[in-house]
Structure formats: C-alpha cells, structure tokens
Copies of this chain bind each other. A is one copy, B any other.
Amino acid sequence: MSTDAGPGAGARLGAELSDAVVLFHDAIGSLMGLSATDHKALGILRREGPMSATRLAARTGLTPGAVTGLVDRLEAAGLARRERDGDDRRRLTIVATDPASPDVAAAFARLQRAMAGVTAQFSAGELAVVARWVEATTTVLREQVHEIAHRRAPEARTGA
C-alpha cells in the first residue's frame, strides 16, 4: 500500500515518513531530557551554526529572559556552550556541541547503522534519485513553514 502513483501520492509518501520522523525526534528529545523548545532551539543551532543569544531569541520567538534559561539547560545537558565574543564582550556566541550522554550517542549510532542498512539496499543511481527527492521535499517543507509563519504574522518578520 501507499505506493500508487495517483494524485496526492507525493503527499501520502511524505505523510508516512513524517509521523515516524516526529516520533523519533520526540523519543530522542525525551532521552536527552529536553523540552520541545530546547530541542527546536538545538536544531536551529545545529542547522544554522553558532549565533548570539539575541539572534537565537529572534529565531525561536522567545524573549531574552527565556533564552537565558534555555541556554542554561542546553549547557547543563552538555549540548551547547557559551562563548564570550572577543570583539564585543557583551555578546555571547552559543555553540551546539555533540551529545554528551552515552545513551544518546548510542541511539544515534544505532540509527546510523540501521540507515546504512537501508542505504545498502539501493544502487548509487537509486540513491541519487532519493537524494533528489529528499532535497526537493525539504525545500518544499521549508517554503511551507515560511508561508505559514508569514501568513500568521505578515509584519513581524523576526530575523529569518
């Protein structure tokens, strides 16, 4: 099932995966002892690289005060660290680091091994097709997130 090529097949393909991805993120998050906000912020830091607290506040939509607590928690969990900027010593740079907990590292290792098993079932040419689909889908999702955010608050474009 779910391999038909009718209209909406693309959406259905994505939906299948989508739930599994979200549940996996959730499982990893609770394994790390992170709230949803923490996990999302960590994702932003990983994806966009080190940034100041102010920028992180803008990207997450949180107030400065909340960001302080957030970074405290990430730091305590060994998932990020604060670095004072040499140029402007008011400014922080918040850097995501690798998972400290052995449980988390083991979970990622298992995932990586399992995904290698999946990859092994495909030829190089097939993997290229998959990569193309993944990239196109990723782009679509990002655009849609953007779209949703801007329809909700067209004037409050915070940093993206």
In chain A, residues 110-132, which have Cβ atoms closer than 8 Å to a Cβ of chain B? 110-112, 114-119, 121-122, 124, 126-132
Q: Report the bound CA distance from A142 to B21 in whole Å.
A: 8
In chain A, residues 123-160, which have Cβ atoms closer than 8 Å to a Cβ of chain B? 124, 126-138, 140-145, 147-149, 151-152
A14 close to B (CB within 8 Å) = yes
Q: Report the bound CA distance from A133 to B110 in whole Å.
A: 18
Contact at B136–A16, with CB atoms within 8 Å? no
Chain A residues engaging chain B, CB cutoff 8 angstroms = 2-3, 5, 7-11, 13-14, 16-28, 31, 36, 40, 43, 46-47, 103, 107, 110-112, 114-119, 121-122, 124, 126-138, 140-145, 147-149, 151-152
